[in-house]
Structures are given as C-alpha cells and as structure tokens.
Amino acid sequence: MQFLIMFTRDPLKAGEPTPTALREAEFEAVRQLYSESLVRQIWLRGDVPGACAIVEATSGAEAEERVSALPLVRAGLLQAPMILPLKPYAGFAPRS
C-alpha cells in the first residue's frame, strides 16, 4: 500500500534552528528508509515548513511506526505526521 505522509514543523519551534547533528541524523534516517524502499519519494513542502513523502508499507500502522521514529519527529521539531492512504487512479484502467 502507498501512503502520502505530510510532515509539518511544530509552529512553536518554527523559529528555532535545527541543530546540525539532528539534521544530519534525519538525512541519514531518511536515506536508510529510501534504501529499504519504504520512502519512494520525498519533497520539501512549498506551503509551510515541512516535507511530504510517498511511502510504501504493508499497513498504515507500519508507515506510522517507521516515520514516527524519525529524529525530527522524536525531537518534537515536527508535529505527528499526517498519514493518508492512497488508492489507484481509476482513469488509467482499461475501459470495457
């Protein structure tokens, strides 16, 4: 199953700079999830500070468990991720 994960910076901490070591730990953790094929795509958001990712997981619970363990989430700099299940787009299906 694929999920859209929305990460949003905690507004109470938005003005605080992210410590370099924590930022590097986040980069490494996301690279690891990408190498495991959990994270398929990741983008910075253009509307608010944060990111969004396309994730492939067996369930929403697995997706939540894995992304909630990211360093910026654990440190409270990001709010709890919003996890949205995705379904295939029917417009590309064959017509009978």
CATH number at residue 44: 3.30.70.1060
> Which are the contacts of 53, defined by CB distance < 8 A and separation ≥ 6?
4, 5, 7, 39, 40, 41, 42, 43, 67
Structural domain count of the chain:
1
Q: What pLDDT does residue 93 have?
A: 86
Q: What is the pTM of this model?
A: 0.88
CB count in 10 Å sphere of residue 71 = 19
Report if residue 94 sits inside a domain: no
Parent domain of 51: 2-14+32-87
Structure confidence by residue, pLDDT tens digits, 30-73: 999 999 999 999 999 999 899 999 999 999 999 999 999 999 99
Q: Does a structural domain hold residue 22?
A: no
CB-CB neighbours of 65 under 10 Å: 11
